[in-house]
Each structure stands twice: as C-alpha cells, then as structure tokens.
Amino acid sequence: MRPTPRIAMISASIGAGHDQAADQLTTALVARGCAVTRHDFLDLLPARAGHGLAQLYAAQLRTAPGSWGALVGTLRRPSLARVTGNAVARAAAPGLLRALTGDEDLVVSTFPFASQALGQLRAAGRLASPVVTFLCDPSVHPLWVSAGVETHMAVDTVAAAQAHRLGARGIVVCAPAVGAGFRPGTEAEKRAARARWGLPDGPIALVVGGSWGAGALAQTARDIAATGLATPVTVCGRNTRLHRRLVADGPGITLGWVGDMAELLRAADVVVHNAGGMTCWEAIAAGVPLLAYRALPGHGTANAAALEQAGLSAWCRDRADLRAALRDPRPFPPQPVTAPRPADALTRLLGAPAADLAPAA
C-alpha cells in the first residue's frame, strides 16, 4: 500500500483570501487521502513581526491606500523585489525550519513571502521537500515568484503568462480553489436566497471589498444607487466601523461578516469588486458577472487589469462606465474544462495516480 502523502500548507492570515485558498486545498487533499499540516506564515516570523506587519497593512489600506499602491509599484522593480524577498526570507527561515519536519512530500504556499522564503531554502539545499506556489491573485507580482520553487500554479492563462515573464518554473494552469457550493443557482434558489437575506426584487449589485471591507465601498454603493439600475448590497466583512456608518445612512442594504457567501452570490445579479480577491473566483464559479470599480491602488488595479484581459471582469474606470456595465452586465466565459482542479494537479505532483489515493468527495 502506498504510504499516506504528507503535505505542509503555508498560508497567512492577512485578509482572508490566502487562508481561504489554503482551506479549500487542504479540504480537497484530505479527501484524497493526504495528511496536511497547516502553518500561518505570520506566526513563523520572529517577535510577532508578521502580525504587526498585517496590522500596518490594514491601516495603510484604510487610511492611505495611495501609499500602498506606490509601494506595490516600487516593489515591481526586480532589484527591490529581490532585496525585500531576501530580507523576509532570512527572517522567516528559522521559523520555517522549525515548523517543517523535513520529510514532507510537498510544501505548498499560498502567500508570496512564504514562497520567497521556501524558495530560498530550497535553492540553498536546506529544504529537501519540493515547493509549490499557488498563485491566488489574477495578476502576478514579482514577489510571488521564486527561482527555488519548482511549481507555480496559476488560475488562468493571463496569470500564467505573467508568471512566465517573471521567470516562474513549472507553471500549471488550474481552476480556482473554491468550494463546491459555489455554482450557478436556479431561479428557485435565487428567490430563496433573497428571501433569507431580506433582499428586494429587481437587480442586485453585491459590493465587496474583501474580509476587511477595504476601499471606497460607501461611495461605490452610492454610485450604484444613483444609477437607478440596481440595489447595492454592501458586504462590509469585519469592518465594523463601515458597517455602522452604512446602516445609519448608506444606500441599499448593508451586511457585516457573511458566512455563507455561496448562497448570497446566488441572490446577486452582479458583483462589484475593488481588489480581485477570493470573492471574484467564487463569483466566477457561481456564474455571476463581475465589475471592477474604484479599484484599490496597487494589487487592486493590477488584478482589475488582469481580469479584464482574461475576459472575466469588466473594469469600470468612472461612473459612466459603471452605468453602462450595470445596464448590461456581461457574462464571462466558463473556466476551460481542461483546467484541472488544484488538488488534482497537486496529486499529480506527488507522483501518485489518482486511483492510488482516496476518491475526492
């Protein structure tokens, strides 16, 4: 009998997207008979520096998003990306080597700085296990790519091409890491979902800004309401301040943290996003059109451009674009049927035929 494959999954509790991708990969791999251990990269940095950086990042997005965009743009320069990646890798190396047993069959990263650190350990011969990076974003920043990482998994051909230009090795195109509950709903399911969430009849525009409720969501909701073409339903995530403010005087309907996004998406006619995060892949799986609007500087604009290039999301640069897109939200092409599920692609990297592992649930 083939021994149980051992996989280490390294994510980061910055927002929710990196962890959500790791959650889905873990669930699918365990269903296939793998033993998976999870690690938060932030915990592996010394003196809780990782959690401090996460808090700083959240504050920066909230109070000075333009400065974040400038930083992301600056770090696209290869020399600066290399210096930054090296510094983080050195700081993280001791924690990573303590966390890993050394006999993992694969180490999978869903966070760019974890990929940098793992790639450098691998290149230096200090890590025996092969490393895989799961590229969560539609666009690929240089910090996502490390020469020491054997495989980079991209969720569409645009991300794959960007990764290739940055020198990524072993590029594999796969489907996004979303749960089975994210699927197109029937009309009956749509009505039931609207009844549960107390949503009105007529077009619904779901406004999202990630788990932190980042960006100009209040202004986005007002702009949507002003068109008269859809009712904005704003998901504030864990941004309680924004939630209170919109409940008090915002247009449309305001929600806080939503545990069942699959059902909420079945109630929507369009998703308006600003960062190209995990909700975008969930909307694609659910068959709901995407619009990027008031995109966050840095990763938000880069992801909006990549999704537009892939034909997966319109990018509304101004109110006129928004009105036109809401008047006729365009469906996007389905994920190519040839793209493997991410866990299937990882199973192949283990060198075990799918029949040798437990069937997926």
- Tens-digit pLDDT profile for residues 269-328: 999 999 988 999 999 999 999 999 999 988 899 999 999 999 899 999 999 999 999 998
pLDDT score of 101 more than 50:
yes
pLDDT attached to residue 180: 86
Closest Cα to residue 307, out of 143, 205, 159? 159
Interstrand relation of 231-235 and 253-255 (parallel, antiparallel or unpaired): parallel
pLDDT attached to residue 357: 36
Integer-rounded Cα Rg, in Å, for the chain is 20
Exposure b/e, 291-326, CB count within 10 A at least 16 = b = bbbbbbbbbbbbbbbbbbbbebbbbbeeeeebbebb
Exposure b/e, 250-282, CB count within 10 A at least 16 = b = bbbbbbbebeebbbbbbbbbbbbbbbbbbbbbb
Token pair for 202: 């007529």
pLDDT attached to residue 2: 59
pLDDT attached to residue 77: 85
For 6-176+337-356, CATH number out of 3.40.1000, 3.30.70, 2.60.40, 3.40.50 equals 3.40.50
- β-bridge partners, 132: 108, 151
Question: Are the beta carbons of 286 and 183 closer than 8 angstroms?
Answer: yes
Amino acid at residue number 246: L
Rounded Cα–Cα distance for residues 217 and 254 (Å)? 11
Q: What are phi and psi of 245, to 5 degrees?
A: -65, -45
Q: Which helix (H) or strand (E) holds 44?
A: helix 41-44
Rounded Cα–Cα distance for residues 162 and 316 (Å)? 23
CA distances from 39 to 33, 113, 253 (A): 19, 13, 37
Token pair for 322: 């928004």
Q: pTM, whole model, 2 decimals?
A: 0.88
pLDDT score of 109 more than 50:
yes
- Tens-digit pLDDT profile for residues 73-90: 888 887 888 888 889 889
- Tens-digit pLDDT profile for residues 163-209: 999 999 999 999 899 988 899 989 999 999 999 999 999 999 999 99
**pLDDT grade for 353, boundaries at 50, 70 and 90:** very low
- Tens-digit pLDDT profile for residues 15-48: 788 999 999 999 999 999 999 999 999 999 988 8
Cα dihedral 296→301→303→304 (10° resolution): 100
Domain boundaries, the chain: 6-176+337-356, 187-327
Q: Percent of the chain scored above 90 by pLDDT?
A: 64
pLDDT attached to residue 334: 53
Average pLDDT over residues 320-339: 76
Q: What are phi and psi of 120, to 5 degrees?
A: -70, -40
pLDDT attached to residue 70: 81
pLDDT score of 336 more than 80:
no
Q: Do 6-176+337-356 and 187-327 have matching folds?
A: yes
Q: Which helix (H) or strand (E) holds 9?
A: strand 6-11
Rounded Cα–Cα distance for residues 34 and 120 (Å)? 26
- Tens-digit pLDDT profile for residues 218-243: 999 999 999 999 999 999 988 898 89
Angle at CA of residue 136, ends 28 and 359, nearest 5°: 15
Q: Among 55-59, 140-144, 145-149, 285-289, which stretch is predicted with the lowest mean pLDDT?
A: 55-59
pLDDT attached to residue 333: 59
Average pLDDT over residues 125-150: 93
pLDDT attached to residue 355: 35
Rounded Cα–Cα distance for residues 334 and 104 (Å)? 35
CA distances from 84 to 97, 112, 126 (A): 20, 11, 20
pLDDT attached to residue 214: 86
Give Dmax (Cα) for the chain: 64
Rounded Cα–Cα distance for residues 17 and 13 (Å)? 8
CATH numeric code, 187-327: 3.40.50.2000
Question: Are the beta carbons of 298 and 68 closer than 8 angstroms?
Answer: yes
